[in-house]
Structure formats: C-alpha cells, structure tokens
Amino acid sequence: MANTKVIAVGVAAVILIVAVIAYASSYMSDFDNVQRSSQDEGQTIALTDVPVLGSKNAGVTIVEIGDYQCPACKLWFDNTRQDIIENYIETGKANLVFIDMPFIGADSTSAAEATYCANDQGMYWEYHTTLYQLQQHENDGWANIDRLTAIAFNLGLDTEQFNECMISKKYFSQISFNKQKASTDFAANSTPTFIIVNTSGTAERLIGPHPYSTFEKVLDSLL
Amino acid sequence: MNNTFETVYSNYTYILIAIGIFFLLFFPLITISEFLFFEPFIVFSIYPETTLSFLLIVILSFFSALAVSMNIYRVKLIKKTKKIGSSIIGTIIGASAGACSCGPIAFSIITTFGTAGSIASSFLNVYEIPIRLTSIGILGVVIFVTTKSLSRECKINL
C-alpha cells in the first residue's frame, strides 16, 4: 500500500516536472521566434526611435520600463507622474521615454503596438495616457483589439490607418526590440522599472512605483 | 477568552514569539507588495488606492502572530499539533495574494510558465482583497477555536 502511494506520488511529480519543462520551453521558443523574426526583417530598430516626452536636450532622461496592463505602473502613473511632468519635464530639466516590456498577457503587446500606431499620427503620448487612464484588471479584455480601435476613434485618430497598422503588425518588431532591450540592456525583471540617467552617464535605478519624493531626490542629485 | 490570552502571554517568551512572527511576515509582505523599497534608499509609501491592502497585511500579520504563538503554547502544553497547521495554511493563503502581478515574483512565474503563470498571477492580483479576507477569516477561526480549547484543556490540566 505504502509502495503504491510512493509510486503514485513519484509519477505525479514526474508528470508535473515534464509539463513544466514543456511549457517553459514552448514559451521560450515563442520568445526566440519573436527575436528572430525581428532580425530577419532586416530593419534597423534603435532606441532612438522611441518617442520622447519633453525636451530632447534635457539634462536628465527618465527611462520608464512598463507594461500597459501592469497595476503598479498605473499606480505610479496616477500618483507620481504628473508631479514629475510639472516640475521636471515642463521646466526642461528632464525628459521621459517609455520602453515597452509587455509580459502580462497578449493584450499587453497589442496595447504597446497600438501606441506606436498612434505615434504614426502624432498621438503617442495621448494614447499612452489614455491606456493607463482606462486600465482595468489584467487580461480581462479591456485592451483587446476592438477596445484599442475604440480608443483610437475617441482620440480622433484616422481609424482606417490605425487598423491597417495594427493588422499588418507594423510595430511588432519594434515592441519585440523594446522588450528585449528592457530585459537585456536594462536588466529589468519587473515593471515599472526606471533608469534615470544624466548627460555625463551617471545613472540611478528605481524598481517599483516609487513616490514623487524618491524621484525628486534622485533627479536633483543627477541634475 | 481574556483569561486564555492572559495565561499565554503572561509568559514573555510567547510575546516575543508573537512579535517575531509579526515582523517576519509583515516586512516581507510589505516589500513584495511594494510598500517598502530598499533601493536607492529606504522608502516607505502608501498610495490612497493601496491603503486597504496595507491594512489587511497588518491584520493578517497580527492574526498570524497570535494564531501561531498560541498554538506553539498549545503544542507545548498538550502535545497536539492539529491547529498549528490551519494557522500556517491561513498565513500562506494570505501571503500568496500579496505579490503584484508585475513584480519580480510574478515576472519569474510568467516567464517560466507562460500563459498558465500569467493566469495564476492575474488571479492572485485581481482577488488580492478577497483572498486576504479569507485568510484573515481562517486565522480568526483558528484563534477562536484555540482559545476555546486552551481554556477547556487548561481547566482539565489544572
């Protein structure tokens, strides 16, 4: 009887381990395919293609690494971002760039692509802001393709051009590139992660939805 | 009920155990829930939207400290370990709800398990408050049952 139990537990453990390895390897192969497809297209994608909020000549750049479905990113967006914009970005002291690291679900990638499609019509930051304002629970469909198109319509974008951009996956490579950069170059393993860097290359890293007081201290020390 | 608390915590060892368990749970939970940051310097912050979550962590840690310390007393007294398991289950359920779905723990789960990890992480995040309330409920029942049985068993032992 005891032997049967041991065998049953052993079999269950082996099945679980095999399932985990199979799942992990299939997920990683998907990730590799994304990387390969972006390389195969032969496009030159660089972080300089990323939209900048504020003056390009500002003394400090805040790099935000985020996911549009991330609740902690929304927390930071709702409570801290506006103060930084008023006191550092609008005054020309700092600028902000957003690097997509969509990992929470498929809608995260679509939402990130949608911001770049909106950028084609000069509305990147407006679309970015609207996404965080409308954020709901992860993977509950709030950022599905239909909703993304509705957001574009409400912002007054040319929805035909927007849809064409989304359907053709025009910015899939850009988002894959951003995601890869976020995890390799910036070593981000959670969102939001912030890299604050000044013109002399001195950088400070903040992980999580830090309050405004933290940014104030770090930005002042780097300016 | 008051008598039971007096009996257990008249021994300072159990007060120390309770305080130790409280902080052992409280600090990791507020760290993974991103209320406490250690880099670039120590920062503690609560946003209006996360006040309830923080309060539930305080209550959960307090109830866990009471439940576990009282059950340690009970185990020493009557050598029965049944209820300590329930209090640990209650604590684990409450603690598991804390990690933000975009924090490092969730990131590791999602990148390792893909869609399944994403669903699990989303579930823990979406139902964070009900899960914590459930675990507080379990711990409340454990404390109630433990105080009842302690008062009964202490009388018998006396």
Q: What is the per-residue pLDDT across A48-96, written as a single tens digit (0 to 9) for each?
A: 678 999 998 899 999 999 999 999 999 999 999 999 999 999 999 999 9
Average confidence score pLDDT of chain A: 83
Q: What pLDDT is stored for residue B105 in this prediction?
A: 75
Cα–Cα dist B46/A217, whole Å? 18
Residue from A49, A144, A24, A191 nearest B125 by CA: A191
Model confidence, pTM: 0.78
Question: Is the pLDDT assigned to residue A18 strictly greater than 50?
Answer: no
Compute the nearest-CA separation of A160 from chain B (Å).
31
Strand, coil or helix: A213: helix
Residues A113 and A23 in one domain: no
User: Residue A104 and residue B118: Cβ atoms within 8 Å?
Assistant: yes
Contact B39 A206 (CB under 8 A): yes
Q: Are residues A168 and A58 in the same domain?
A: yes
Residues A124 and A38 grouped into a single domain: no
Average pLDDT estimate for A130-151? 92
Residue A11 has a CB neighbour count (10 Å cut-off) of 10
State the nearest Cα–Cα gap between A161 and chain B, in angstroms.
31
Domain match, A204 and A99 both: yes
Does one domain contain both A122 and A204? yes
CATH number of the domain to which A62 belongs: 3.40.30.10
**Which A-chain residues 19-48 have CB contacts (< 8 A) with chain B?**
20, 23-24, 26-27, 30
Total domains present in chain A:
2
Whether A108 and A22 map to the same domain: the answer is no
CA A143, A133, B31 angle in degrees (round to 5)?
95
Q: Nearest CB to B102: which of A67, A140, A204?
A: A67
- Report the alpha-carbon distance of residue A194 to residue A222 in Å, rounded: 14
pLDDT in single tens digits along all 158 residues of chain B: 667 888 888 888 999 999 999 999 899 889 988 899 998 899 999 999 999 989 999 998 999 899 889 888 888 877 655 556 666 777 777 676 666 667 777 777 777 777 777 777 777 777 888 888 888 888 888 888 888 887 776 665 54
Check whether residue A120 and residue A18 sit in a common domain. Answer: no
Q: Are residues A160 and A181 in the same domain?
A: yes
* Three-class SS state of A43: coil
Instruction: Spell out which residues of chain B touch residue A78, defining contact as CB-CB under 8 Å.
Output: 47, 49
For residue A24, give its domain range: 1-42
Task: Give me the pLDDT at residue B153, please.
Answer: 65
Sheet bearing A60-66, strands edge to edge: A52-53, A94-100, A60-66, A193-198, A203-207
Looking at the fold, whether A121 and A151 belong to one and the same domain comes out as: yes
What pLDDT sits at residue B82? 58
Say yes or no: A126 and A21 in one domain. no
A21 and A56 within one domain? no
Q: How much is the pLDDT for A150? A: 95
Do A130 and A217 belong to one domain?
Answer: yes
pLDDT at residue A213 in the model:
95
B43 touches A: beta carbon within 8 Å: yes
CA distance B129 to A71: 14
